[in-house]
Chains A and B, each alone.
Chain A
Amino acid sequence: MNRKDEQLISQFMQANKHEIADNGFSRRVLRRLPVPAKVWSDLLTVICVILCAILLYASDGITILFQSIYEIFQAQSIDIINHPNKLLTTMLAISATICFLSIRSAWTSKE
C-alpha cells in the first residue's frame, strides 16, 4: 500500500461523501420516541387527585372536614386556656415537625 493508493482511496471516498437532507427524518424519530414512565405516573396522580376531589365534593366531605378542624381547634383552645404549659409543648411539637420535614426534603433533593 503506497502513498498514491492511500490518496486515491481518500479522494474516492471524499468524492462520495454526501450530506443527507433531513426530509422529515427527525420528525419521524420524534414521533416514535417512547413516553417516559414519569409522564404516566404524573398522569395517574392527576387522575387520582381529580377523582378524590369529586368524591369529597359529592359526599359533602368539605363541610365535614371544616367542622372537624373547627372542633379540634375549639377543644385545643379550651385545653390551652385551662393548662397554659401545654401551649409551649404544642409549639415545640409543631416546630420540631417543621424542622424534620425541611431536613428530610433537603436530604431527598440532594440525593
Chain B
Amino acid sequence: MSQLNDIALVAQVVVFGNKGAFDTLVKKYQSPIRRFFLQQTLGDEALSDDLAQETFIKAYTHLASYKNLSSFSTWLFRIAYNVFYDYIRNRKETSGLEDWEVDATHQTEQRQIGKEMDIYRGLSLLKGVERTCITLHYMEDLPIAKISAIVGIPSGTVKSHLSRGKEKLANFLKQNGYE
C-alpha cells in the first residue's frame, strides 16, 4: 500500500511537476535518510543534513529515471549511499589521504562531538561498508537483498560485512557493560 502511494506520488511529480507530492515524499523519508547519514558521519548533524538535502535534490532531478524495479525507499537509500561515498571520495582527493585515513580523521573529529554517545563510539569501530550494512540491517530493518541493491555488492559480501560488524559491535557492547 505504502509502495503504491509512493508510485502515485512519484507519478504526480514526474507528469505534473507537482512539488506538493515531492514535499510529501520528503516528509515521509527525511527521518530514515537523515538518521542513515547521522550514523555514517558518526553524529555530525550539520553534515548529515547537507548530505540528506543533496540526496533529495538528486532524487528530484532523477525522478524520471526511477523505474519501479525496486521500492522507492531502496532507490532513495541507494542515492544516499552514493552521495555519502562521493563526499568521502572528494574529501580523499582534497586531503590526499587514503580511505582508511579519511575515515580515521573523520572519526577523531566526531569523537569530540559524540563522545558520550555509545552508538557512535560503537559504530566508529567498524569500517565504512560494515557500518552501512549494520545500520541498514538493524536500524532500518532492511533484508540482505535490499542492502545488496543499495550498496551494489553481492549478498554474500553483505553477509560477510554484517558478520564482521556484528562481532566488533558485540565485543564493544560487552566491554561497555551492555550484557
Contacts and interface: CB of A to CB of B under 8 A. Distances in A.
Interface of A: 1, 5-6, 8-10, 12-14, 16-20, 22, 25-26, 28-30, 32-34, 36, 38-39
A25 B49 contact: yes
Contacts of A39: 17
Nearest to B38: A20
B135 to A, nearest CB: 8
Contacts of B38: 20
Contacts of B97: none
Nearest to B33: A20
Given A22-B30, A25-B52, A30-B22, A8 B163 contact: no
Given A26-B23, A26-B30, 15 more contacts: A8-B178, A9-B173, A12-B119, A13-B119, A13-B134, A14-B138, A16-B118, A20-B34, A20-B35, A29-B30, A29-B53, A29-B57, A30-B26, A32-B53, A36-B17
A95 to B, nearest CB: 34
Contacts of A26: 23, 26-27, 30
A1 B26 contact: no
Contact of A16 (B34, B49, B119, B174): B119
Interface string B49-84: 100110011001100000000000000000000000
Contact of A17 (B17, B22, B35, B56): B35
A12 B173 CA distance: 8
B58 to A, nearest CB: 11
A25 B138 contact: no
Nearest to B170: A5
A29 B58 CA distance: 11
